[in-house]
Copies of this chain bind each other. A is one copy, B any other.
Amino acid sequence: MSSPIDFYFDFSSPYAYCASTRIDALGAEFGREVRWHPILLGPVFKQMGVAPLIEVPIKGRYALHDFARTAALFDIPYAHPERFPVATIGAARAMLWIDARHGAAKAREFAHAVFHAYFAAGQDISQPEIVLAAARSAGLDAEEVAQGMQQEDIKAALKSGIEAATARGVFGAPFIFVDDEPFWGFDRFDYIRKWLLRRGQGAAA
């Protein structure tokens, strides 16, 4: 088994949402597990001194169009959220707790539910009750999750996870590492595939 693929995302990123629907299949194509890492882009953008994408003049308008188009081209259900972007610290902490307590598969199931709630079902995932509904839909005890996501060690884990991500060069989402090769964006999936194919053939990438 080759080393796992690392997948960094913010629950508020449309391209990360698209990536979340495809990343495990991509990993499976090449016999790679995928490790999911929820992060927050706010602190990352602050460190870089850049504005959130949709706040950039001209480019922001294009981005809004491209979000929906990208989803449509890949047959991914998409309804641009009324409030966008929103705080995802609760969802990220909940995922980390679920991962620690119930394992990666359950955490992933929860993550899919959160992404779907925000980008397909028109729900505001900055609201704790929406995060807990996602947990419930993944078969988890909402009470337990509500308590878990407040734990100090979970808060610390998210903080240190974001620090580790930026130290590794993460500056956006989705951000993917394959054997330390960095790929930014859902539009890099074909590159990842090409890169893995060449690597498999022993060619230089």
Interface size on A, residues (CB 8 A): 32
Tallying the copies of this chain within the complex gives: 2
B182 touches A73 (CB 8 A): no
Report 17 cross-chain contacts, Cβ distance below 8 Å, ordered by A residue.
A47-B58, A48-B56, A48-B57, A49-B56, A58-B169, A58-B171, A61-B169, A62-B171, A62-B182, A69-B205, A73-B191, A73-B194, A73-B195, A73-B198, A73-B205, A187-B187, A187-B188
Report the 10 A-B pairs with minimum CB-CB distance, sorted nearest first.
A187-B187, A58-B171, A73-B194, A59-B171, A48-B57, A48-B58, A73-B191, A62-B182, A72-B205, A62-B184
- Chain A residues with CB under 8 Å of chain B are 47-50, 56-59, 61-62, 65-66, 69-70, 72-73, 166, 169, 171-172, 182, 184-185, 187-188, 190-191, 194-195, 198, 204-205
